Structure 1
Amino acid sequence: HEFRALSGEHGTEDHLPLRPRPSSGRRPEISHRERFRDRHRFWERHWDRPRGRHRDRRRERHQERIHDGWVAGHVHGARFSSGPPVGGFRVAPPLPRCLPLQALEDHYSPSRWSPRLDRDSIIDAHLAVTAAGTERARASAQTLLHVPYGIGDGEKLDIYFPTDPSETFPVLVYIHGGYWQSLSKDNSGFAAPPLVSQGVAVVAVGYDIAPKGHMDTMVLQVRRSLIFLVERYPRIRGIYLCGHSAGAHLAAMVLSTDWTEFQVMPDIKGAVLVSGLYDLEPILHTYVNNALNMSREVAQRNSPMRHVTPAAPAACEMLVAVAQHDSPEFRRQSQEYSQVSIRRSQEHGQVEFGVHPVALLSPQALRAAGWSVSLLDLAGVDHFDIIERLSEDSYVLTQVILNMISRA
């Protein structure tokens, strides 16, 4: 069509004005600049025109790729693939095709989705709540702070011991969020009081955040922190992981670890992943990656969605929790990671826990790899207070964690 428009085979007024032909019938020589200008004008004029059956066939091929379990699209003009399906099929494309930059960043900005406060205020409030809760926990519990588990500046642990420790005790390892570039273990002890009072030790893990820390380094550091705990405290009776946001991602990466490389097998009996990200490719195109500076290869290598391994040990229980007021992308990633089959039946339906109605949805995907998986959709909370309220004894997520530990 471009050739016909430029050569004059279609002489309608909608096409480009034709240049006079020389008597020999050959087109006059034109510069590269003029040729580029003419092509630009042509596509600018004809790009949005209906394409009839060709357009319909493209739509059909796109739908066929969805049904085949492989979805391709474009983000900011760069083609991406959602990756091979984990389990049966891929629920939806990672993002709508040709999503504008601002919309993409909004989808991965949890602070924009809270109904409680504006974007800046919700972050300030979160910092204040977690810092105050950590101070109370340090004042009320027996602690061992800033314990080095490696030589890095951020490789330190805060340990909150049970009130009445027995000969052996379970440990909850908490991994903080902050988009891998903020927060620290120093405001991550707020969840300790309800757990230490029930005989559970709590360990807040520190790691080198970006830009100092690389994504590969952070994942390795969290893995090494567990090895340190196992070797330093042989009285541990089971390890339970809990991570929020970026910390949920790191906890999920721990679950995908090939421990034969480390010659140590931590006894991980459960994991609670709260409002996490499990596919890092979409954030490559957002402000989040400014500090992380991840390449596509790094993002793929550190995406738990792509590395679902058999559960070790096989009895490991996983709970994927997500807030009602998380962003649509955070909610989608939580649902996809657990590969949930949303069937609200008498067995898996609405259940009341205090003032928090939650939907227990029946997940299927990770079960194929030996995981016992549940998805917990908490109503009335956002990306921040879903984890802040772990300081409350009666909070549904606190009770779920204690029940998980008691069943082991």
Structure 2
Amino acid sequence: MDARWNYLDGQLRPGHPALLDRFLADSATAVAELGPDLDLAYGAHPRMVFDGFRATAPWRGTLLWFHAGYWQSRDKALFRFLAPPLVAMGLDVAVVNYPLCPDVSLDALLAATRQAVPAVADWAGRGGAGLITAGHSAGGHIAAELALAGIPLAGVAAFSGVYDLVPLLGTPLNDKLRLDAAAARRLSPLFRVQGALPRGLFAVGGAETPAFLAQNAAMAVAWGVAPVVVPGADHFSLLDAVPGLLQGWLDA
């Protein structure tokens, strides 16, 4: 079984187009009903913007959500649907865009996301308290990278993340990432987990490919927490489980 199947072909499911259409429709509803602050700039690049959704229940934290797309595609607009259940559990939610490869290098992309943290903290107006980085797929990698960047965080919650980038070198994904072996290892948070860590949640769908199951398990063990596997969920249907997983994690 080659890397392409594990990271590309094996992730494609017949139901994904309809599922993504639902996400987009539900995201439009979330904007109409919650009236968020849209496209707030946190840097000079046109994709350095976030949407801010205010908590509608007693405040429990501020969550920065970073979207999927292998660091080279997709947009926050598809993932605003996550905000309604999260604000209802007391989270301020920032759904964050970031520059994409190959317009920028992966190093520059990660540097840009670090600028999002103080900007979201300023928007939340709570002095940087209760910040949680979270994301899905490439966004899970970003969330973990931020937690290892020396930024004070209350937690990191990553879903179907890629934490070891070395296997991507042999796939078409690297056409835009443009990583060599040294950069792929250097930008893999799995190899740099150490020291005092914020609390962590690492979850994956049980119906995902062996590579994603292994990536999640390895990162959870490195972080010192139990990996979470959602039975029957694939790479995108896992997002339906995110609110419940976060609720249980916050309550634990």
TM-score (structure 2 length as normaliser):
0.91
- Take 1:406 and 1:142, find their aligned partners in 2: how far apart are those partners? 27
Q: Which amino acid aligns with 1:258?
A: G
User: Are positions 1:222 and 2:113 aligned together?
Assistant: yes
Matched, 1:107 2:6: yes
Larger Rg: 1
2:136 match: 244
CA distance 1:210–1:127, change in 2 (3 Å): farther
Alpha-carbon distance between aligned partners in 2 of 1:135 and 1:306, rounded to the nearest angstrom: 39
Letter in 1 for 2:217: Q
| 1:306 equivalenced with 2:205 (yes/no) | no
Residue matched to 1:404: 249
Instruction: Provide the residue aligned with 2:95 in structure 1.
Output: 204
Of the candidates 355, 361, 380, which is equivalent to residue 232 of structure 2? Answer: 380
Counterpart pick for 2:65 among 160, 174, 177: 174
Q: Could you tell me how far apart the structure 1 residues matched to 2:136 and 2:74 are?
A: 11
Match of 1:327 in 2: 209
Alignment length, in residue pairs?
Answer: 251
5+ residue gaps, structure 2, are: none
Amino acid of the structure 2 residue aligned with 1:319: L
Higher helix share: 2
Counterpart residue identity of residue 244, structure 2: Q
- The superposition leaves residues 36-88 of structure 1 with CA deviations (integer Å, 9 ceiling, x where unpaired) of xxxxxxxxxxxxxxxxxxxxxxxxxxxxxxxxxxxxxxxxxxxxxxxxxxxxx
- 1:130 lines up with 2:12 in the alignment: no
Task: Tell me by how many angstroms 1:229 deviates.
Answer: 2.0
**1:183 to 2:40 alignment:** no
Does 1 or 2 have the higher relative contact order (CA < 8 Å, sep 6+)? 2
Question: 1:366 corresponds to which residue?
Answer: 223
Q: What letter matches 2:43 in structure 1? A: G
Post-superposition Cα deviations, 1:153-207, rounded to whole Å, max 9, x if no partner, equal 110010111235x6x6511111101111111112121111112123211110110
2: distance between equivalents of 1:134 and 1:213?
A: 27
- Following superposition, the deviation at residue 255 of structure 1 comes to 1.2
Q: Residues of 2 paired with 1:382 and 1:182: CA distance?
A: 19
Kept in 2: contact 1:172–1:239 (CA 8 A): yes
TM-score, normalization by structure 1: 0.58
CA distance in 2, matches of 1:113, 1:181: 16
Structure 2 distance, partners of 1:143, 1:321, is 27
Give the letter for the 1:336 counterpart: A
Structure 2 Cα separation of the partners of residues 113 and 199 of structure 1: 33
Decide which of 131, 151, 173 is 2:44's aligned counterpart.
151
User: What is the distance in 1 between the residues matched to 2:43 and 2:131?
Assistant: 20
Percent identity (aligned): 29
Q: Is the 8 A contact 1:323 1:378 kept in 2?
A: yes
Instruction: Evaluate the alpha carbon distance shift between residue 169 and residue 321 of structure 1 in structure 2; reply closer, same or farther with a 3 A threshold.
Output: closer
Residue among 35, 41, 44 paired with 1:142: 35
- Check whether the contact 1:174–1:202 (CA below 8 A) recurs between aligned residues: yes
**1:129-172 CA distances to partner (integer Å, 9 max, x unpaired)?**
321121111011131000000001110010111235x6x65111
**Contact (CA 8 Å) 2:94, 2:120: kept in 1 or not?**
no
Instruction: Name the SS of the counterpart of 2:56 in structure 1.
Output: coil
Which aligned segments of 4 or more residues in structure 1 are displaced greater than 4 angstroms?
none
User: How far apart, CA to CA, are the structure 2 residues paired with 1:298 and 1:177?
Assistant: 21
> Quick check: 2:200–2:223 contact (8 Å CA) kept in 1?
no
